[in-house]
Structure 1
């Protein structure tokens, strides 16, 4: 049987034994950070894994094609290439880290996750892999702080009511018993630790000592110095609709991995309209704003700070696997400093389709919210990043194969946790491709039973 995907400017086909291929009709080019050149492998990587790209060929074949060059796609390519002999083509319509990852704050945190849940186990494994990766970067002669923006800041959950303070006292014990060392701090202890905090609003805090922070853009840069052969991306801005190059077809013998984040539902609906199959993830883009205040401010923070309300949001997102209603717009204060001393303020979430325009009224509300805890930000100005988080209503990312289409693997739906969960996701996808059982149970994240024939 032959299945044909049509996507407006090109077509792709699935053939038994032939993997997945896409024929080119649009104007696409291969590039590495915008340069029309082939990227040669560094000598420190095994050149036996390299397969040179023949510009005159009408068909190019790889073992794995990964669609999406956010942190999930890049991390998956990196893991496959450094742990297996498989070749990889990594494809996107824009530059790396152009979506939610590049607009985020870089948290590798356990503090807001519920121990014992599938998401907790995935995050715990991923955090351990990030720590290993940082050591490998250091062993290679690089400074992890410079190469990754790596900092062991810990995370500070802050409460503004007596009720929240009691909750944090219990939460600190729950996290500690689960292996994430966390101390409950009184109002005075929290202010002594972080003098920038407002004394009037704060009632208590919880410090999770081992939480980490990295810079997403620096990290993507470092991962791309691995043996990913080259990028293939659109010569024009636009949504990702397939794996297309002007030279011909790109085939993935073993798998095609969909790591397109917030665009995954749109891609699958567009590409599988004529199949008559349920292959569309129940996903919506969820817009976020991040305010970046340049390093001329006077606010100094030792830890990453998150308002206790964030726990309520996280609990609501993952409480039910049968959620039918989507949450409304919400603002929860998060604050941290990046490696350059810039103050990063979040966090806003709303459903606005694929619109990524900056909303001045949202920024005003974010600053107003942050000023309750950090009064020094009231009169500050900065630049704004916006991005689209891949929201799934049951709170679980979608990772794994689709029974009805051999060779198709999803790695999407991580919403605001893509950076944190990326390395464990990459490991899980690699294990699935090789049919190897991994350290984290994959069943809760599998696509089967969660796909539909139309977008939500």
Structure 2
């Protein structure tokens, strides 16, 4: 193996669109995306399972290269704990924007957590201008669009590489009050320069013939929203990172749980991460991006009486129902009911309602989302529950999702969920929920070189590139492109 002391500066620049890219002749030289076992939908790890499947099993193993370094060379500039979309993209940004060496550590493998269980929405439809996440969301979406453009400019197809497609989104209302709210949202987002329009029930017939609403209903239509295939995207990013292994700048330590920080004496600097198999020395920074495990992990890692911790990140369980190769009808856009925004922020013990998203005493919320993915599968959701770290499939939740979607798409009622059991897939993931709804991104108080990037809940994919850029700028000492103050830990989680 190449010793990690060797550093080779890669000529990579921030182009005029703000996207980091490598020289075209090198971009694809080491990618394994032609391998369907790696790049396809079955890009799934083993334990800890966060994806479950009924009748069929997710036993297709991730084709992970052996990039771990020998114990003599386990020294890196940055060690990142967590190989979900946040950790992967932070590693990517650091590798492309600097000559630093990076190690990526995870108790499992990429896509085995919340990242692999998502719908792939890159949407602005349900976001609100002026909120503290707005700038970060806009920056992140711009970086996603720039990445897709750069792939295209280098002779590749973003649809093939990322599953990237402009589906547009429909935020759907069923009542007059919801329609009035959507009209205000369309006006608000139009003033921000986004293409948006309100569609009446009659207008909707040409866009989505299967979507049936009462006369007072309607939809906010955002034609420029995107979705991607998360497994293709993760494969693309992961293999892009691995190109740097041959230069001694990148290594993966998968199936290795982080178990402690090496903090000499009372120093405010962490010198290494102790894993279940290795000691990984960090010369510049440690980044914890472990999703819903971040809260408990940081408590376990920082065992110092002088550090007071209160990081209230909890696992928020979600189910998605996927009907494979669905051909009974077609959806032209991604669809989401208006109540989804409230569903995202639903708190414990909400009141049950038959006329809106489902909330019950078991802390369950269900609201309608529906789309056809790049493989022709019908993807239906979604649910949220604060029920701990369980990833078991709950059939009652699947039934709730099926019934809720059927209220908007009556053609679905002609299908039998039982008859579809052989062609269905259930995705279960644990979103990193934080009560104030904002991720934590920044330096851990009391330390000079430990950063957190977690608590994105259901927006990890959407906010990933903006978060990665923000953390990379902090590590490199660059000015942040977006105000990082709302995401700071001090005053929120550390006192």
TM-score class normalised by the smaller sequence: 0.7 to 0.9
CA displacement, residues 163-207 of structure 1 (integer Å, 9 cap, x when unaligned): 111111111111111222110000111122101112448711110
2-structure distance, mates of 1:416, 1:399: 16
1-structure distance, mates of 2:277, 2:374: 41
The structure with higher relative contact order (CA 8 Å, sep 6+) is 1
1:118 aligned counterpart, secondary structure: coil
The equivalent residue for 2:45 is: none
CA displacement, residues 55-102 of structure 1 (integer Å, 9 cap, x when unaligned): 2x3451111111000000001100110111111001111110111111
Aligned pair 1:211/2:253, yes or no? Answer: no
* Residue 288 to residue 315, structure 1, CA distance change in 2 (3 Å): closer
* Counterpart among 470, 476, 483 of residue 428 in structure 1: 470
Aligned pair 1:233/2:247, yes or no? Answer: no
Q: Is the 8 A contact 2:197 2:220 kept in 1?
A: yes
My pick for the range that moved more, 224-233 or 272-281, is 272-281
1-structure distance, mates of 2:69, 2:395: 48
Q: After TM superposition, where is structure 1 displaced by more than 3 Å over at least 4 residues in a row?
A: 32-36, 199-202, 239-248, 273-276, 313-317
Q: Is the 8 A contact 2:208 2:332 kept in 1?
A: yes
Q: Is the 8 A contact 1:58 1:249 kept in 2?
A: no
* Residue 81 to residue 202, structure 1, CA distance change in 2 (3 Å): farther
The equivalent residue for 2:285 is: 255
- What is the RMSD of the two structures over their aligned residues, measured on CA atoms? 2.2
Instruction: State the Cα distance separating 1:435 from its structure 2 match.
Output: 1.4
The equivalent residue for 2:437 is: 395
The equivalent residue for 1:178 is: 192
Q: Which runs of 5+ in 1 are unaligned?
A: 1-31, 39-52, 318-325
Q: Is the 8 A contact 2:92 2:241 kept in 1?
A: yes
* Counterpart among 427, 447, 459 of residue 405 in structure 1: 447
The equivalent residue for 1:28 is: none
Aligned pair 1:141/2:155, yes or no? Answer: yes
2-structure distance, mates of 1:59, 1:386: 38
2-structure distance, mates of 1:164, 1:447: 35
Instruction: State the Cα distance separating 1:281 from its structure 2 match.
Output: 1.6
The equivalent residue for 2:42 is: none
1:230 aligned counterpart, secondary structure: strand
2-structure distance, mates of 1:389, 1:451: 18
* Residue 247 to residue 67, structure 1, CA distance change in 2 (3 Å): closer
Aligned pair 1:284/2:311, yes or no? Answer: no
The correspondence of residues 278-317 of structure 1 with structure 2, limited to 5 A, is 278-314=308-344
The equivalent residue for 2:459 is: 417
Instruction: State the Cα distance separating 1:299 from its structure 2 match.
Output: 2.4
Between the two proteins, the alignment pairs up a number of residues equal to 396
Q: Is the 8 A contact 2:69 2:251 kept in 1?
A: no
* Residue 202 to residue 136, structure 1, CA distance change in 2 (3 Å): farther
1:115 aligned counterpart, secondary structure: coil
CA displacement, residues 213-272 of structure 1 (integer Å, 9 cap, x when unaligned): 01111101001122343321127xxx6545556774211211111100000111012222
2-structure distance, mates of 1:260, 1:312: 26
Q: Which runs of 5+ in 2 are unaligned?
A: 1-60, 243-249, 261-272, 348-360
* Counterpart among 342, 352, 363 of residue 387 in structure 2: 352
Task: Provide TM-score, normalisation by structure 1.
Answer: 0.82
Aligned pair 1:369/2:383, yes or no? Answer: no
The equivalent residue for 2:117 is: 103
* Residue 104 to residue 136, structure 1, CA distance change in 2 (3 Å): same
1-structure distance, mates of 2:111, 2:171: 28
Task: Provide TM-score, normalisation by structure 2.
Answer: 0.76
My pick for the range that moved more, 63-72 or 197-206, is 197-206
Instruction: State the Cα distance separating 1:293 from its structure 2 match.
Output: 0.5
Instruction: State the Cα distance separating 1:154 from its structure 2 match.
Output: 1.0
2-structure distance, mates of 1:245, 1:289: 31
CA displacement, residues 302-346 of structure 1 (integer Å, 9 cap, x when unaligned): 1100001113335668xxxxxxxx994211100111100101101
